[in-house]
Amino acid sequence: MKQDTQLKFYAIDEPIDKVEDTTADMNAEAAETIAISTRRKGQTKLRKLALVTVVAVFIGVLTETILGIYGAFQSSFWLGSLWLVVSVLLCLTLFGFFIREWWLLRKLKQRWQMQAHFDEQSHIQALHRPDLEQQWQQQRQSHWNEQEIATRFEQDILANVDQTAMRRIRKWSLEAAALVAISPSSLADMLLLLWRNQRMISELSRLYGVKLGYWSRIKLWRHILTNLAYAGVSELIVDMGSQWLSTELVARFSARAAQGVGAGLLTARLGLQTIRLVRPLPYVHTQKPSLLSMQKLLVKDLAKQFPTMFKNKSEHAPSDTSQSL
């Protein structure tokens, strides 16, 4: 006899177990890993090629110099001695330059590593400010724990440097905005912005105890532009909001004034990014400065400096209406 077959019936509304498909995630991770490895291999090849090129050029220049000095000695002892002394002095100068650049670049990288954790002695010495170091020693209490030390250091010591840096950013932003507002040439605007921003970044770095060389300056500029390009979503929204607000404010003013405000905002953004990169500690126990507050101060300062350029156009509207009537 056939066994009775039991049939099971399921309701239509009964939830169906969701089957997780991990194939897509695995493929995405594999593709990302392959892309990263390919990019690293490309960068490694370029670095090796650049290193081989530099070594080859160095060997060629050294060989040519030795042959030139040997030929000078063959013709005249004094001429050969002169070329030898000049070559030795030049080599020593280049060697000192490269050593200094390497040391300053190393110090800049150490500053970025310093931001990961707090160390009392290294952070107070990193500012290179004897007055702040003396102030910290006077108010430092032995019963403070590590959290209290970090909090008081940021609020009492770093806050003073932050206030000075913000005043300098405000000054440089106002000067950049004023120069662009009165400049008649776009090329002159670009050159003025580049010159002023370079000086501002150097001054802000010195405020936080960071000395910049040629390569360290380029490295800092790369990180600043990278942070501006790959800013977080929240920071980007804040910046867009401040730019929209500034557009609403300067829409009633002249075109040159609007260009000046835009140049001042760009200078302020560069200054704020510079502070975040050269600051010994990130903003944890103090409020991070915003571009919106800087924008309001910039418009206010620029309106005081150039009242005729920032004269509200709405004041002329009634007169124009009466003339038309």
For residue range 162-174, list pLDDT tens digits in order.
Answer: 999 999 998 888 8
Per-residue confidence (pLDDT) for residue 1, from 0 to 100: 47
Region of residue 53 (phi > 0: left; psi between -120 and 50: alpha; otherwise: beta): alpha
Q: Which pair of structure tokens corresponds to residue 134?
A: 């003396």
Q: What global pTM score does this model have?
A: 0.68
Residue 72 lies inside a defined structural domain of this protein: yes
Same domain, yes or no: 54 and 156: no
Residue 19 lies inside a defined structural domain of this protein: no
For residue range 11-33, list pLDDT tens digits in order.
Answer: 444 444 444 445 544 555 555 55
Residue 211 lies inside a defined structural domain of this protein: yes
User: Domain range holding 245?
Assistant: 131-136+148-312
Per-residue confidence (pLDDT) for residue 99, from 0 to 100: 93
Same domain, yes or no: 207 and 81: no
Same domain, yes or no: 69 and 183: no
CB 275 within 8 A of CB 200: no
The DSSP output letter for 5 is P
CB 180 within 8 A of CB 189: yes
Per-residue confidence (pLDDT) for residue 321, from 0 to 100: 37
Per-residue confidence (pLDDT) for residue 36, from 0 to 100: 55
**Which residues in the chain land under pLDDT 50?**
1-2, 8-21, 24-25, 232-238, 240-241, 245, 250, 252, 313-325
Same domain, yes or no: 173 and 288: yes
Residue 32 lies inside a defined structural domain of this protein: yes
Same domain, yes or no: 186 and 280: yes
The structural domain count of the chain equals: 2
Residue 4 lies inside a defined structural domain of this protein: no
Same domain, yes or no: 50 and 170: no
Residue 267 lies inside a defined structural domain of this protein: yes
d(CA 111, CA 129): 16
Same domain, yes or no: 163 and 299: yes
Residue 166 lies inside a defined structural domain of this protein: yes
Per-residue confidence (pLDDT) for residue 14, from 0 to 100: 47
d(CA 40, CA 164): 41
CB 131 within 8 A of CB 289: no
d(CA 307, CA 309): 6
Same domain, yes or no: 188 and 284: yes
Same domain, yes or no: 160 and 286: yes
CB 267 within 8 A of CB 193: yes
CB 290 within 8 A of CB 240: no
Residue 141 lies inside a defined structural domain of this protein: no
Per-residue confidence (pLDDT) for residue 96, from 0 to 100: 92
Region of residue 209 (phi > 0: left; psi between -120 and 50: alpha; otherwise: beta): left
Same domain, yes or no: 107 and 156: no
CB 196 within 8 A of CB 179: yes
Distance (Å) of CA 297 to CA 166, 207, 236, 294 = 11, 22, 20, 5
Q: Which residues are within 8 A (CB) of 149 and not within 5 positions of it... i.e. 6 or more apart?
A: 118, 120, 140
Same domain, yes or no: 212 and 86: no
Same domain, yes or no: 53 and 163: no
